[in-house]
Structure 1
Amino acid sequence: MQPRYRVIKTAILDAIESGVMKPGSQVPSENQLAQQHGVSRMTARRALSEMVDEGILMRSQGIGTFVSDSRPMSSMLEIKSIRDEIERRGHRYTNEILVLETAPASDAISQRLAVDVGEPIFHSIIVHCENNLPVQYEDRWVNPAWINDYLDKDFKAQTANFYLNQVAPLSQADHSVEAVIVEKDIAQALLIKPKEPCLKITRRTFSRGTGNENGLAAVVSHAVLFHPGSRYRLGGHLEF
């Protein structure tokens, strides 16, 4: 038989996972939980305190205890490997490689990569998963001038971001973030409903590298990243 405080924790977790309690919902007080489960207030307090320590709940002094927003958060101000982010949270990283090819640069992509239209470039589409749940659909175009063996890399072992930074250390980037409804094939790959909102991050990375004779930053890759809004958020900390 489970200890009584764990029974309370399980009941709250079930309510969160079923959607009965959503992020921001207030949970019953210690007194209410004690009455509901026939336990002491101290037992109810232990259940809530452990869930606060685990980041599942958050306390607001004098107001109550609420369900935390448990979606993973990535920095808007830094570019990090999605694998590193997931493993730093103590979760399991896996991926599914959907496309890994050489393709001619379209007019739009040639402008983003600063290459000629029709020039062969590398293209990859990889779905990144956290505990087997898709959290990012990565559609990336790469300039072969920086990494001519891109297609030979083991993307099950490391991310595209990792390999690119080895040969073309990031010197600058531009990116934009917007809320979108994705196309059907992307929704299917992310295992979301057709009209579920996603975060779309469009990012172009540059490097001065060792092979760039004039020392000016040149484009390395252009990526479009889609994250289910229900599983991901962006944030950052600024000091002035």
Structure 2
Amino acid sequence: MQPRYVHIKTKLLDAIETGAMKPGEQVPSENQLAQLHGVSRMTARRALSEMVDEGILMRSQGLGTFVSDHRPMSSMLEIKSIRDEIEHRGHAYTNQIRLLERTFANADIAQRLAIPVGSDVFHSIIVHCENALPIQFEDRWVNPQWIPDYLEKDFTAQTANYYLNQVAPLSQADHSVEAVLVSPEVAKALLIQSNAPCLKVTRRTFTGIKASDNPSANNVVSHAVLYHPGSRYRLGGHLEF
């Protein structure tokens, strides 16, 4: 027989997953749950506290406990590996390597990487999955001056962002977010309808170190465009003043 606090958690989870309780809706108080399930207030508190810790519920001081927006949230204030984000939530990370190639920089990519038009660049497309469901389509262009062996790396074992930060530690980033409709190729890879809204994160990263073998190299490491299904992902963060 399962512990009583687990029984309460199961009932609340069932209500959330079936839509009977929706994001932002207030859940019963500790006293109400204790009376409803015939348990002590301490048992009810444990059930609620664990669900808050797991991100399923959120507490608002003086107001009560509410159902969280269940979409995973990525920080806008720091750059993390998508794998670290997913595994931090206790979920399984996998990816699909769609493209790894050496090509030539067109005018747009050359400008973003601060290199001459026609220069060699590395191009990768990787789809990142959480519990086997696509959550990010990563289209990345890398400056070979910094990562000459980029195409030789096994990105099923570590993400491109993680490896780039190990070789050329990031010091700055240009970062923008917008809502978009994506191309049929991206929609198909993310398993969404072509008219489904996505979050597009455009990010250019810089390193603060100097290339020992090429002192004239600029400090732009990569330019990446990251697409996330709007129904599965959100961006946010906590600020203190």
TM-score class normalised by the smaller sequence? 0.7 to 0.9
CA drift at 1:157? 1.0
What's the counterpart of residue 156 of structure 1?
156
**Are 2:226 and 1:225 aligned?**
yes
The answer to whether the 8 Å contact 1:106/1:118 transfers is yes
Q: How many residues align?
A: 238
Alignment of 1:1-240 (within 5 A): 1-29=1-29, 39-40=38-39, 42=41, 44=44, 46-61=46-61, 63-207=63-207, 208-211=209-212, 212-214=214-216, 217-240=218-241
Give the structure-1-normalised TM-score.
Answer: 0.84
CA distance in 2, matches of 1:187, 1:61: 40
CA drift at 1:150? 1.1
The answer to whether the 8 Å contact 1:171/1:217 transfers is no
CA distance in 2, matches of 1:63, 1:102: 56
Structure 2 residue runs of 5 or longer lacking an equivalent are: none
CA distance in 2, matches of 1:29, 1:195: 40
CA drift at 1:91? 2.6
Structure 1 residue runs of 5 or longer lacking an equivalent are: none
CA drift at 1:5? 4.2
Give the structure-2-normalised TM-score.
Answer: 0.84
The answer to whether the 8 Å contact 2:146/2:211 transfers is no
For the residue of structure 2 that corresponds to 1:202, the secondary structure is strand
For the residue of structure 1 that corresponds to 2:124, the secondary structure is strand
For the residue of structure 1 that corresponds to 2:170, the secondary structure is coil
- The AA in structure 2 aligned to 1:175 is H
CA distance in 2, matches of 1:217, 1:238: 32
Give the share of equivalent positions with the same residue, in percent.
74
- The AA in structure 1 aligned to 2:176 is S
